[in-house]
Amino acid sequence: MAQKLDPWKSSEISDYSKLFDEFGIQPFAEVLDEIPNPHKYMRRGIIFGHRGYDMIADAIKNQKQFVVLDGFMPTGKAHFGHKMVMDQIVWYQKQGGIAVIGIADREAHAVRDLTWEECKRIGVEEYITSLIALGLQPENARIYFQSECQPVKDLAFELGTKVNFSEMAAIYGFSGETHLAHMIAVLTQGADILHSQLPMYEGPIPVVVPVGADQDPHIRLTRDIASKMNMFLIERREDSKTGKSYWSVRGKNAPEDALKEIDKNIRGGFGGAGVSTKLSKEHIDIFGDISEAELSEIVKNAELAHGGYAFMIPASTYHRFMSGLTGGKMSSSIPESNIALSEDPKSAAKKIMKAKTGGRESAEEQRELGGEFDKCSVYELYLFHLTDDDDELIQVQKECTSGSILCGECKKKAAGKMEAFLTDLQQKREEAFEKLPLFSIDYRK
Amino acid sequence: MAQKLDPWKSSEISDYSKLFDEFGIQPFAEVLDEIPNPHKYMRRGIIFGHRGYDMIADAIKNQKQFVVLDGFMPTGKAHFGHKMVMDQIVWYQKQGGIAVIGIADREAHAVRDLTWEECKRIGVEEYITSLIALGLQPENARIYFQSECQPVKDLAFELGTKVNFSEMAAIYGFSGETHLAHMIAVLTQGADILHSQLPMYEGPIPVVVPVGADQDPHIRLTRDIASKMNMFLIERREDSKTGKSYWSVRGKNAPEDALKEIDKNIRGGFGGAGVSTKLSKEHIDIFGDISEAELSEIVKNAELAHGGYAFMIPASTYHRFMSGLTGGKMSSSIPESNIALSEDPKSAAKKIMKAKTGGRESAEEQRELGGEFDKCSVYELYLFHLTDDDDELIQVQKECTSGSILCGECKKKAAGKMEAFLTDLQQKREEAFEKLPLFSIDYRK
């Protein structure tokens, strides 16, 4: 049976490698070397896959403008799973990116039946303040609620002209019972991802969306729609007779004038450099020495001048999930399985002391054989959150496998770190309320 | 086979009486006597059916506030079919109604693929100027484009929480191929009908939507959704033992406080007058002498105070369609079959001179037997448009059936009237452009 990713059913994805084969996600390892100072999630293989990341690596390396975008559905508590995304947003902002954060209140309202007031409270008190506490800076940041962002809502409608019910059903398992607002919420997420490229914001710009693997359906749908929204398709083709390759620019319902303008600008700019064109009714073939970047720029400008979007297809990264502290999945219905960012530090420490580890049957056995850190939820806490220092992480591994430190002592250390982290974070979350106006957010507790 | 009304396929509805039986549309004749100065379409049986019109007749008669709402999809030319709706809007405004007119550019964009600019141009130059030329006054009028009206768009999303794909498919014949924007356009029409009842506009108020019979699916859907959006349902029930009847107010996911408030206000206001209540978790039973109007007012106020809509279920009227001048249906693909409101008066006169009539084989035969006005498209022009004077209409009938006037002479008269009407209307349509700012419409030719 084909594997199905469903963003509304949190599923443990047992075999990530299938994602490469079945869904066309690329291994992140292939682009890792292109990134100057990779995030610990990248170095540690937690971010395991991507789509279209080359343009993001290029933007970071060459200090070009780019956007990091993520959405948070304001339901329940922000927890350490959300922190993974928040950490990445903050990191991208430090790498020069513009951080754009959408609070998906349309989804929470339509799918989870929360009132708009609840969405606002949870959005600010759980998610936005945590993000600010984790280091988001006001400069080069834009935080918005979907319900309050007209360009996002209008773009969602526009995207709806390019996707039909069957496509939605195939991707999300929607049925006849699915409410229309649920479908519109999905379109709105597409608009979250694409709206920064509207002329009123940044215009066409590389955008990266860091998500968990279960969110890939949204990404695929949005990449597909973005491509359908564009007027032109640039392809490399080969002449079947001569074997020579050339560029083809195809206009999909593009105004005739726009295609003519592209033809004129290629000939005007490159005609002297041995570039020739053949203009047909709906496409142009381009022969000779012109780079994809040069061609894309000409096409983009013509498309924008004729009211098109010229969207750059958004990139994404995929990270794997932490296990729950009690073993198995993290679940909000099992409070002991996870820790909220707003949690009392002592309560969090207690949860760690009770967590499932990779310990052996007896202390003797463990001193002899060592622990199994790859089965340990406390080790995962280190791996994902408790240290940015890879050497320290290796030290934790060694102490475990050598049996020199047993689970009790290790948990105590981790619990201490967690308590210190949360004590600091709670302080910063309180301070974050004061900083809300810097992010143009009007809210009082 | 069950008859199906499809607003996107203009269908000749051969047997209007079926609409009463199969779809629950009420005969308009039943409410006609309640209307002080009925419109000619009412007097002449052209408006043949309604839903929930009693509250509108009551509002007109007793000079209470009400809204007349209609939408126009800005595609192609406004013609004499649209004039029927426009005439009614102008008439309701004269009877004291607030006229609210939505230009359905979302539908034109999503379903007919028109650009927003085309929608704007057609909306103003064809529809809005015609409506003003036909007599719409700036006072007590509000004209808007869907794409520019945030409350309408936001309400459309909200309505989407109450209707699922199966319901849409059953009503409109939507399939997997249907684009989501098409579905959102339908929700937006529901929002057109309901949004005047939002607190930012009039609050709960009677609304009437005059439409052709083919538009009933929209009306039924909107009435159904309006009812689902409300917190409370008021019903008359009967005690199975005593046979006594009483009122029941049921809360559908209503806040508990709201139900308690209703109970308190009934007992506070009417407790002394022999009214008693029985409050349960999700409903109140009310015994004794309280009118539906009094009860509705209490329930409405509690619902509004607790963030509900308290929508009054919108009313509608249904009119039959004119035949095409060439016989059969009016069709924009057969220019001779219909006359546009922006048409050159002489061209319109010529079309009438070529129109299909109820004439006999020969002049002799017609002088002897008389014409058949009930088969005559020129008579229909008189019936629908060319005279407001019922006596004149009867005169036309008599001259036809008596054979005293033959078709040529009759057509000439009608053509002359049409030419005069359109000459005057073109003048007024030009003047209407100057009046656009009075309707807060920013547009230049």
Q: Which of B146, B154, B157 is best to mutate for the A interface (most A CBs within 10 A)?
A: B157
Query: Which of A147, A157, A176 lies closest to B165 in CB terms?
Result: A176
Query: Which of B115, B177, B184 lies closest to A166 in CB terms?
Result: B177
Residue of B nearest to A178 (CA): B164
pLDDT tens for B217-271 read 899 999 999 999 999 999 999 988 988 999 999 997 788 899 999 999 998 877 6
pLDDT tens for A205-244 read 999 999 998 899 899 999 999 999 999 999 999 988 988 9
- First CA to last CA distance, chain A: 49
Where do we find the tokens 């129109």? B355
| Nearest chain B Cα distance for residue A109, angstroms | 9
Q: Are A146 and A123 in contact (CB under 8 A)?
A: no
Q: Which two tokens stand for residue B295?
A: 């009860």
Residue of A nearest to B182 (CA): A161
Is A154 in the B-facing interface, judged by CB distances under 8 Å?
Answer: yes
Q: Which of A150, A167, A180, A306 is best to mutate for the B interface (most B CBs within 10 A)?
A: A180
Q: Which two tokens stand for residue B399?
A: 């001259």
The H helix count followed by the E strand count for chain B is 19, 11
Average the pLDDT over A330-338 and give the result. Answer: 84
Is B120 in the A-facing interface, judged by CB distances under 8 Å?
Answer: no
CA dist B13 → A134, A173, B220, B237, B321 (Å): 65, 38, 18, 38, 9
Nearest to A425 by CA among A131, A81, A76, A94: A131
Answer yes or no: do A184 and B181 touch at CB < 8 A: no
Question: Tell me, what's the pLDDT at A444?
Answer: 87
Residue of A nearest to B106 (CA): A157
Answer yes or no: do A147 and B154 touch at CB < 8 A: yes
Within 212-251 of B, beta carbons closer than 8 Å to A belong to none
Asked whether the predicted pLDDT for residue B91 surpasses 90, the reply is yes
Contacts made by residues B279-283, CB under 8 angstroms, sequence distance 24+: B281/B256, B282/B250, B282/B251, B282/B254, B283/B248, B283/B249, B283/B250, B283/B251, B283/B259
Is B168 in the A-facing interface, judged by CB distances under 8 Å?
Answer: yes
Pairing mode of beta strands A315-319, A207-212 = parallel
Question: Tell me, what's the pLDDT at A57?
Answer: 97
Share of chain B above pLDDT 70, in %: 95
| Nearest chain A Cα distance for residue B311, angstroms | 19
- Rounded Cα gap, residues B303 and B262, in angstroms: 9
| Nearest chain B Cα distance for residue A161, angstroms | 5
Please list, in sequence order, all residues whose beta carbon lies within 8 angstroms of the beta carbon of residue B13, skipping any fewer than 6 positions away: B3, B5, B19, B213, B214, B320, B321
pLDDT band at A142; cut points 50, 70, 90: very high
Is A104 in the B-facing interface, judged by CB distances under 8 Å?
Answer: no
Where do we find the tokens 């000939």? A267
pLDDT tens for B409-445 read 999 999 999 999 999 999 999 999 999 999 999 998 8
3-state SS assignment for residue B236: strand
Is B162 in the A-facing interface, judged by CB distances under 8 Å?
Answer: yes
Domains and CATH numbers, chain A: 18-229+312-321 (3.40.50.620), 233-305 (3.30.70), 335-437 (1.10.240.10)
Is A152 in the B-facing interface, judged by CB distances under 8 Å?
Answer: no
Asked whether the predicted pLDDT for residue A317 surpasses 90, the reply is yes
Contacts made by residues A262-267, CB under 8 angstroms, sequence distance 24+: A262/A232, A262/A298, A262/A299, A262/A302, A265/A298, A265/A301, A265/A302, A266/A290, A266/A295, A266/A298
Residues of chain A in contact with residue B160, where contact means CB-CB under 8 angstroms, are 110, 179-184
Average the pLDDT over A90-99 and give the result. Answer: 98
**What's the whole-model pTM score?**
0.91
Where do we find the tokens 């009938």? B397
Residue of B nearest to A112 (CA): B161
Query: Which of B109, B161, B168 lies closest to A110 in CB terms?
Result: B161
Residue of B nearest to A149 (CA): B150
Query: Which of A166, A184, A187 lies closest to B176 in CB terms?
Result: A166
Average the pLDDT over A302-319 and give the result. Answer: 96
Q: Are B76 and B215 in contact (CB under 8 A)?
A: no
Longest pairwise C-alpha distance within chain B: 81
Is B106 in the A-facing interface, judged by CB distances under 8 Å?
Answer: yes
pLDDT tens for A246-272 read 999 999 778 889 999 999 999 887 766
pLDDT band at A20; cut points 50, 70, 90: confident
Query: DSSP assignment of A6-74, as one string?
Result: -TTS------THHHHHHH-PEETHHHHTT-SS--HHHHTTSEEEEESTHHHHHHHHTT---EEEEEE--
Is B108 in the A-facing interface, judged by CB distances under 8 Å?
Answer: no
Q: Give bridge partners of residue B251 from the DSSP assignment.
A: B232
pLDDT tens for B314-344 read 999 999 988 899 988 887 788 889 999 999 9
User: Rounded to 5 degrees, what are φ and ψ at B139?
Assistant: -70, 140
Question: Tell me, what's the pLDDT at B256?
Answer: 87
- Rounded Cα gap, residues A228 and A343, in angstroms: 44
Between A333 and A403, residue with greater pLDDT: A403
Sign of CA dihedral B296, B299, B302, B307: negative
Answer yes or no: do B180 and A163 touch at CB < 8 A: yes
Is A149 in the B-facing interface, judged by CB distances under 8 Å?
Answer: no
| Nearest chain B Cα distance for residue A213, angstroms | 26
Q: Are B97 and B140 in contact (CB under 8 A)?
A: yes
* Complex ipTM value: 0.89
Query: DSSP assignment of A176-207, as one string?
Result: TT-BHHHHHHHHHHHHHHHGGGSTTTT-S--E
- Rounded Cα gap, residues A199 and A232, in angstroms: 17
Asked whether the predicted pLDDT for residue B17 surpasses 80, the reply is no
Average pLDDT, chain B: 92
Contacts made by residues B356-360, CB under 8 angstroms, sequence distance 24+: B356/B325, B356/B326, B356/B327, B357/B407, B357/B410, B357/B411, B358/B400, B358/B407, B359/B406, B359/B407
Q: Which of B114, B149, B164 is best to mutate for the A interface (most A CBs within 10 A)?
A: B164
Q: Give bridge partners of residue B192 from the DSSP assignment.
A: none
Within 31-70 of B, beta carbons closer than 8 Å to A belong to none
Question: Tell me, what's the pLDDT at A382?
Answer: 95
Answer yes or no: do B176 and A169 touch at CB < 8 A: yes
Distance from the Cα of residue B276 to its chain's centroid: 41
Answer yes or no: do A174 and B165 touch at CB < 8 A: yes
Where do we find the tokens 């939605």? A168
Q: Are B110 and B181 in contact (CB under 8 A)?
A: yes
Residues of chain A in contact with residue B147, where contact means CB-CB under 8 angstroms, are 154
A 10 A CB-CB count for A369 gives 12
Answer yes or no: do B153 and A158 touch at CB < 8 A: no
Within 177-196 of A, beta carbons closer than 8 Å to B belong to 177-184, 187
Answer yes or no: do B163 and A179 touch at CB < 8 A: yes
Please list, in sequence order, all residues whose beta carbon lies within 8 angstroms of the beta carbon of residue B88, skipping any fewer than 6 positions away: B39, B41, B47, B68, B70, B210, B317, B319
Q: Which of B119, B179, B180 is best to mutate for the A interface (most A CBs within 10 A)?
A: B180
For residue A417, give the amino acid letter: K
* Vertex B373: Cα angle to B372 and B375 (nearest 5): 75
| Nearest chain B Cα distance for residue A387, angstroms | 44
Average the pLDDT over B141-160 and give the result. Answer: 98
Residue of A nearest to B175 (CA): A165
pLDDT band at B11; cut points 50, 70, 90: very low
Average pLDDT, chain A: 92
Asked whether the predicted pLDDT for residue A6 surpasses 70, the reply is no
Asked whether the predicted pLDDT for residue A104 surpasses 90, the reply is yes
Residue of B nearest to A174 (CA): B165
Pairing mode of beta strands B276-279, B283-287 = antiparallel
Asked whether the predicted pLDDT for residue A24 surpasses 90, the reply is no
Query: DSSP assignment of A129-153, as one string?
Result: HHHHHTT--STTEEEEEGGG-HHHH
Answer yes or no: do A179 and B162 touch at CB < 8 A: yes
Please list, in sequence order, all residues whose beta carbon lies within 8 angstroms of the beta carbon of residue B149, skipping any fewer than 6 positions away: B102, B195
Answer yes or no: do B181 and A168 touch at CB < 8 A: no
Q: Give bridge partners of residue B99 from the DSSP assignment.
A: B68, B141
Residue of A nearest to B177 (CA): A164
Query: DSSP assignment of B267-320, as one string?
Result: HHHHGGGT-EEEE-SSEEEEESS--HHHHHHHHHHHHHHTT---PPPPEEEEEP
Residues of chain A in contact with residue B169, where contact means CB-CB under 8 angstroms, are 176
Query: Which of A150, A166, A183 lies closest to B150 in CB terms?
Result: A150
Q: Give bridge partners of residue A40 from the DSSP assignment.
A: none
User: Rounded to 5 degrees, what are φ and ψ at A211?
Assistant: -140, 165
Residues of chain A in contact with residue B161, where contact means CB-CB under 8 angstroms, are 109-110, 113, 179-181
Question: Tell me, what's the pLDDT at B14?
Answer: 52
Asked whether the predicted pLDDT for residue B300 surpasses 70, the reply is yes
Within 387-406 of A, beta carbons closer than 8 Å to B belong to none
Where do we find the tokens 């779809």? B23
User: Rounded to 5 degrees, what are φ and ψ at A267?
Assistant: -65, -40
| Nearest chain B Cα distance for residue A182, angstroms | 7
CA dist B18 → A212, A377, B27, B79, B356 (Å): 55, 69, 11, 27, 28
Pairing mode of beta strands A26-27, A47-51 = antiparallel
Asked whether the predicted pLDDT for residue B380 surpasses 90, the reply is yes
For residue A109, give the amino acid letter: H
Please list, in sequence order, all residues whose beta carbon lies within 8 angstroms of the beta carbon of residue B347, skipping any fewer than 6 positions away: none
Q: Give bridge partners of residue A50 from the DSSP assignment.
A: A26, A317
- Rounded Cα gap, residues B358 and B353, in angstroms: 13
Question: Tell me, what's the pLDDT at B16?
Answer: 66
Between A322 and A382, residue with greater pLDDT: A382
Residue of B nearest to A306 (CA): B115
Pairing mode of beta strands A67-72, B245-251 = unpaired
Between A378 and B5, residue with greater pLDDT: A378
Asked whether the predicted pLDDT for residue B9 surpasses 60, the reply is no
Is B112 in the A-facing interface, judged by CB distances under 8 Å?
Answer: no
